[in-house]
Amino acid sequence: MSLGMPPPFDSLADRERCDHTAKRRALLYSRHESLLRQELVARVGEVRAEAYGRPDTTANPYLSLWSQIAVMYDAEPRTMAPAGSEALCEMMADVGYWPGMQRVERDTLGLREMLVRFEADPIDGVVTHRPVFPDLVSAEAEARRPDVPIRIREWVDGPFGWELHDTSIKQDKGEVPYHRVYDASGKVDVTADRYGRTFEGAAYPYRYSNGTPRLPYTLYHAAKTGFLFDPWTLREIVDGSLILGVYLSFFGHVLQNAAHSQRYMFGVNPHGAAVVGREGVQRTEVVADPATIFTGDVAEGVNSPIIGQWSPPVNAAELLASISMYERRLLLLANVQPSDVTRQEADIRSGYSLAVSRESVRAAQALYQPQFLRGDQDAMVCAAVISNRVFGTSYSERPRDYRIAYQGLPESPGELEALSKGIQTELDAGRIGPVTAYKRRYPGTTDKEACAALVDASIEREVVEARIREARMAEVDRAVVNDTGKAQAVSELVAKVGRGEVPVEAACVIMVSVIGLSQETAEAICDTLETPAEEGAEPEPPESADPVEAPETMEPPEPEDAAGASMMMNMAEDSAATE
C-alpha cells in the first residue's frame, strides 16, 4: 500500500480533470484542510494567514448539500428480475450492493461521475464490487457512443503500491480485447507476474453469452451530457465552499482577537513584545487580551506619551449574518431555492446548519433517478455476465429485464395522510380503480403485481373475518352451553329466522330483552344470520312520509324457564306482526 496520489496521466485534459475532481473528493471526505490553507494564503497572504491560525473546516456546504440530496438508496430498492434470474437480485443484496450505493450516489452527485468495478469471488461463489473514483481513471469512448467507455485505465493502490490496470474492448484496426496490469511507471507490463497468465484476445474473461466482450465496470453519471466525464459542472459550489471556509476562519479570528476594544500607545515601548511566526512570515506581537494590562516604558525623547483604545473594529453578529447570506447563495447554484432551505442550527459553522426541504430533495431525486436507473440496470447485467461466465449461471443479460423501484425519502406522517386522502378521494369519485390507486401508493408496481397484491389482501381479509366469526361463535357457545333453557330458546329463534318468520333485527332484540343474552353475544349470533327473501317478492319502495316514532314498550320481565321464554318470544312475534 502506497501513500499519496498516483502518478498523473499523460493527457493534459485528464490531468486537469483529475486535479479538480480530487479537490471535490477532498471536500466530500472532509480532507480539505490543506485546500483551505492554500485558499486562505492566496487571499490574505502568508502573514495574515499565520495570524488567523488553523483554518476553520467546520462548515462544508458541499458535503452537506449532496449528503442531504442523496437519499435514493436510504431504503433498499425493490429489484425485480425475469424468471430464472431472481437469484441474481438476492446475490446483489447479499453482497451489500444497495447499502454501498448510498455512498456511491452521494459521490456521483458530488464528483459528477462514479464507477463500480465487478469481479468474481470463486471462494464464496459471488460477484463482488468496489467503488472507483473518477480522478483515478482515464477512459476512451467510440465516436458513435461518446458516453459509453470502451477502454478504462485505473490506478489501483494495492500490495505492490500503485499499479495501472488497463482494460480494453476496442476491436478496430486489428485490436483485441485485453486486461493488463502495469507497474507504478505505467510502462512495464506485470500481468503475468501478478496472475500467472495473461488476458488477451480469446483469453479475455469478461464476455456476454454470445461472446461479445464488455468492460467489468459500470459508469454512473449525475447527468446525461453525451460525454464520458462532466467534471466542471457546479465547480462554483466547490470554490464557494472553500471561500466560505476562509470567511469563517476570518470570523473566528475576529471573535478571538478583535471582538473587544483595542488599546493603543504612542511614545511607549511596551513590555512583553515578542517575535512570532514561521521564518519568512514573522511579526512582532503583544498580547492584547481584555484580561491583560499594558505596561511599558516611555520612549526616549518623548515628553507626552499617548494611551487610548478603539472600539471593536467589527460587529461579529453582522459579520456572521453576511457569511450566512453567502452560504445561501451557494445553494442557489445547485438549483435549491431559498424557500426550500431552513436553518437547523443557529451557528452557521455547523456542517448541517442549512437543511434542504423534503420537497426539494424529492424534486432532485426525480431529476437524478433516470441516470441511476440506467446505471443500476447495467450493474445488474455486468454482475450477470461475470456470474454466467465464471459460475455457469444463466441470468438474463438484458438491462430492461431488471426493474428497480426506488423507495427514496419516506413520506412524513402528514405527507402520507395527504397522499392517502387524495387517492381515496379519486377512488370514491370513480376516477381511478383499485389497481391504479395501489400503484400510486406504491410507485414502481406493475398492473400484474398490483392485482396480485389486492387479491392477496382480499383473501387475507376474508380469512381474518372468518376467524373473527369463529371466535365470536365460540364466545356464544360458552355463553349458552351451561344454560339449557337459553340454548333451546336461541335454537328455536334461529330456526324461525331461517324460515323467514322473524327478521334478524327483531331476533337480536328478542335475544337480549327476552332470552337474556348480552348485547355482544346477541350481535355475534345475528351476524351469522340472514333473513331469506320471499320468492318472487318485489322490493318495497322507500316511504315518502316522515318516519313515525315507535311507541315506547315496557321491557318484559326475564323469563324463569324455557317455556316462559318461548311464550314471551311468541308474544313478541305477534306484536311485531301487528305493528
pLDDT in tens, the chain (579 residues): 444 678 899 899 999 999 999 999 999 999 999 999 999 999 988 888 888 888 988 889 899 889 988 989 998 999 999 999 999 999 999 999 999 999 999 999 999 999 999 999 999 999 999 999 999 999 999 888 999 999 999 999 988 899 999 999 998 888 999 999 999 999 999 999 999 999 999 999 999 999 999 999 999 999 999 999 999 999 999 999 999 999 999 988 888 777 777 777 778 787 777 777 777 777 777 776 666 666 777 778 778 888 777 777 778 888 888 888 888 888 777 776 555 555 544 444 444 445 567 777 777 888 899 999 999 999 999 999 999 999 999 999 999 999 998 887 777 777 778 888 899 999 899 999 999 998 888 877 788 888 988 999 999 998 998 888 777 666 666 656 566 777 788 888 888 888 888 888 888 888 888 888 878 778 777 877 766 655 554 555 544 444 444 444 444 444 444 444 444 445 444 444 444
Phi, psi of 204 (to 5 degrees): -65, 125
**AA identity, residue 236:** E
In Å, what is the CA distance from 211 to each residue of 23, 100, 151, 389? 40, 30, 18, 10
82 SS3 class: coil
In this structure, how many other beta carbons lie within 10 angstroms of the beta carbon of residue 256?
12
Q: Please give the Cα distance from 363 to 145 (Å, whole number).
A: 29
Which residues, 6+ apart, have CB-to-CB distance to 499 below 8 Å?
Answer: 532
In Å, what is the CA distance from 315 to each residue of 51, 152, 251, 254, 328? 19, 54, 10, 9, 21
Burial of 361 (0-12, 13-18, 19+ CB in 10 A): buried
**How close are the terminal C-alpha atoms of the chain, in Å?**
98
Written as one string, the DSSP assignment of 516-540 is ---HHHHHHHHTT--PPPPTTPPPP
**DSSP secondary structure code for residue 549 in this structure:** P
Tell me the H-state helices in 121-230.
191-195
Q: Please give the Cα distance from 489 to 88 (Å, whole number).
A: 65
134 SS3 class: helix
In Å, what is the CA distance from 85 to each residue of 89, 383, 396, 449? 7, 11, 6, 18
Q: Please give the Cα distance from 531 to 437 (Å, whole number).
A: 36
Q: What does the block give as the cell for 568?
A: 314471551
